[in-house]
Amino acid sequence: MQIKDHPIADEAAALGVRYRACTDADMDFLQRVYRSTREDELALTGWSEDEKAAFIAMQFNAQHSHYRAHYPDALWLVIEREGTPIGRLYLERWDREHRIIDIALLPDSRGHGIGGAILVDLQREARAAGGKALSIHVEKNNPAMALYHRLGFVRTEDKGVYDLMRWPAERTAALAQVNTAS
């Protein structure tokens, strides 16, 4: 089940996925993951590669600083598959819920069930931690929005370009009761 400071990885492990703590040596990789989530926007700018790189560096550093300041107790994890870094998972465990601060995979790792397996594992962990909710802010146009809906996440707040999506505590408690009854 749960390894100290790492989330449950049952479904993800079956796909060769494991987690390791981020280090300073991962910053370039983490920035590359971040950039991969912004490529569609960058394609619309008409900027040179140098301008795109400068913009991404500025935005990544601002995001990284914001996350570290607002989520000081979070887990900062690199997602690896068969020993190769493929993404990032930032997770905060609060008393009443678990918050996915960020989850992102490199493009070659998307669409293969990895993200879904990680989310199912995180749902199981939240349920095992006393029926806690699991939440994440998701951009409205994020292609993964359909996955969140399919896994039972519901929009609880409209935050402009983002929706706060939550896998409700009521749902986790109900699922726990169904699973123990069968």
Q: What is the pLDDT along the chain (182 residues), one digit of tens a residue?
A: 343 467 878 899 999 999 999 999 999 999 999 999 999 999 999 999 999 999 999 999 999 999 999 999 999 999 999 999 999 999 999 999 999 999 999 999 999 999 999 999 999 999 989 899 999 999 999 999 999 999 999 999 999 999 999 998 565 444 444 444 43
Query: What distance in Å separates the CA atoms of residue 26 and residue 40, rounded to the nearest whole number?
Result: 24
Tell me the C-alpha distance between 107 and 114, whole Å. Answer: 12
Query: Within a domain: residue 121?
Result: yes
**Rounded Cα gap, residues 149 and 163, in angstroms:** 12
The boundaries of the domain holding residue 138 are 10-181
Cα-based distances in Å from 17 to 27, 75, 142? 20, 17, 23
CATH, residue 105: 3.40.630.30
Q: Is the pTM of this model over 0.85?
A: yes
49-70 and 27-36 are packed helices; what angle lies between their axes, rounded to 10 degrees?
110
Answer whether residue 19 is part of any domain: yes
Domain assignment present for residue 3? The answer is no
What is the reported pLDDT for 168? 85
In a domain, 4, yes or no: no
Distance CA 85, CA 33 (A): 10
Asked if residue 146 belongs to a domain, the reply is yes
What H or E segment, with its residue span, contains residue 89? strand 84-93
In a domain, 147, yes or no: yes
Would you tell me how many other CB atoms lie within 10 Å of the CB of residue 97? Answer: 18
> DSSP for 31-50?
HHHHHHTTHHHHHTT---HH
Tell whether 2 is covered by a domain: no
If one counts the domains in the chain, the total is 1
> What pLDDT, on a 0 to 100 scale, did the predictor assign at position 8?
78
22 lies in a domain?
Answer: yes
